[in-house]
Chain A
């Protein structure tokens, strides 16, 4: 197994394991409570409104929006890490078909791995420091790296077939 394939396959397996462990931790310790809090806030807002307490009703909607903001991102991180890991392993298996030199293929693999780790990491950091520039920049840079690596691999496959 050559360097780029090793990087993609081992990196992919490691990332899938991290994603699954995170998903298991989230499902067991966080998700049920989060869903309860989300549903409770939304129901609470309508109950407060029915009781004529509008400021509390609006406060509950804001809480619902904040909890949902975190929930969506935490679920996304788990699924994106595992999804990207699977893509890395598949690409690793097919990587000999990418018609570039070993050096270029190595950099494509590096870009794939860095982007696959960084993109979901940026998304989860958005929940730690909401509104901060760094997490969004990391997510954007990570996804751009994955898109670049994938485009390069597609061109490489086309070159090999031609």
Chain B
């Protein structure tokens, strides 16, 4: 699959103890793990959770019709748990991927961070630790609750997540300090810049990524202008009608409004998901264009993974949007698109691992 020599000029920038290597590995692993978690969540939790929300609202309208406020309170307490279950999983997925993106970004910036090698490695370790702990903390919020917490409304899950967020901020401020030193001409950058490579893979990822981001922005702008305010007003209107129907003991009418709310929530969710996913995949493609010189695979295999990544990046958001029209079939194809991106990403991570393994072996021979 692979067979080319490691460029000697690149060796100092990707050494065994360099911050860049840690950030590239950590970043790729966080993005891949976050996407895998998102795919598992979409297949096994998302739709089931939406069904549970609908059932809870139907039960609430029945309790209103039966003039039973205690039952309503119980149902909403349960509904709160269902919403928290969904929300924390979405947040864990998003924050893990975003931390991965930031790690890859910081890897790009290392040549311009004028700090000592040990400080750069410390900051990189701090960042990866924060990026790992943040989604774990968020994920645990739903399961740990406020058990044994010293605060009345903030549980240990939130404490871990917020502390991890603080770690990320400290690491980012440290990197910003290094950049400031570089801009002021204080100290010197310890690493050389990323090796420049004018390959097909790099160009395709760069231009393909930019087009994906642009498409995402255009879709987001269209959604904000055409649908956002209408949907917000529609949600309140549906809830008013639902309460009126339930109070008038018109249960079929109330059930109809629950269905309308479910459809509206679906419409909002797919638009937001399509918009955010296409932009995130675009940014990922651009980021991956920089690490292509470190992917130790033959050009043919690199091309295959690039094509798979770009195709998956387009399929997922497109079919997420089509879920409104074609239902679960489109949802299944969207999940497949996500899987294509994950496979391409893992393949590139393997390429980077092969690169560093070969480099370490050659350095070992040298010693």
- Interface residues of chain A, those whose CB is within 8 Å of chain B, are 1, 6, 9-10, 13-14, 16-17, 20-21, 23-24, 27-28, 32-33, 36, 39, 42-43, 45-47, 49-52, 54, 57-58, 61-62, 64-65, 68-69, 72, 79, 82-83, 86-87, 89-91, 93-94, 97, 139-140, 143-144, 146-147, 150-151, 153-154, 157-158, 161
Contacts and interface: CB of A to CB of B under 8 A. Distances in A.
A47 B73 contact: yes
Contact of A46 (B154, B182, B243): B243
A72 B231 CA distance: 13
B179 interface: yes
A62 B236 contact: yes
Contacts of B105: 86, 89-90, 93
B179 to A, nearest CB: 6
A161 B203 contact: yes
Interface of B: 60-61, 63-64, 66-69, 71-73, 75-77, 79-80, 83, 94, 98, 101-102, 105, 108-109, 112, 153-154, 158, 161-162, 165-166, 168-169, 172-173, 175-176, 179, 182-183, 203, 206-207, 210-211, 213-214, 217-218, 220-221, 224-225, 232, 235-236, 239-240, 243-244, 246-247, 279, 283, 286-287, 289-290
A46 B175 contact: no
A122 B206 CA distance: 30
B76 A16 contact: no
Tell which of B67, B105, B166, B247 has the most Cβ of chain A within 10 Å: B105
A52 B247 contact: yes
Grouping DSSP codes into helix (H, G, I), strand (E, B) and loop, the A interface class, with mixed when no group exceeds half, is helix
Nearest to A158: B207
B240 A58 contact: yes
Tell which of A69, A86, A97, A143 has the most Cβ of chain B within 10 Å: A86
A46 B72 contact: yes
Nearest to A61: B239
Nearest to A80: B220
Given A21-B169, A24-B166, A43 B109 contact: no
Contacts of B169: 17, 20-21, 24
Contacts of A23: 165
A93 B193 CA distance: 10
Given A10-B179, A86-B283, A150-B217, A20 B172 contact: yes
Contacts of A62: 236
A7 to B, nearest CB: 11
A114 to B, nearest CB: 15
A38 B243 CA distance: 17
A156 to B, nearest CB: 9
Given A143-B221, A150-B217, A45 B73 contact: no
A50 B283 contact: no
A13 B179 contact: yes
A68 B239 CA distance: 13
Given A87-B283, A89-B109, A90-B108, A27 B165 contact: yes
A93 B110 CA distance: 11
B112 A9 contact: yes
A144 to B, nearest CB: 8
Contact of B108 (A72, A87, A89): A89
In the A-B complex, list the 6 residue pairs whose CB atoms are closest, starting with the nearest.
A43-B76, A65-B236, A50-B69, A154-B210, A50-B64, A93-B108
A52 B68 CA distance: 10
A49 B64 contact: yes
A78 to B, nearest CB: 11
B213 A150 contact: yes
Nearest to B71: A50
Given A10-B183, A50-B64, A52-B247, 15 more contacts: A13-B179, A16-B172, A24-B166, A24-B169, A45-B243, A46-B61, A54-B244, A68-B232, A72-B232, A86-B101, A93-B108, A93-B290, A147-B218, A150-B214, A154-B207
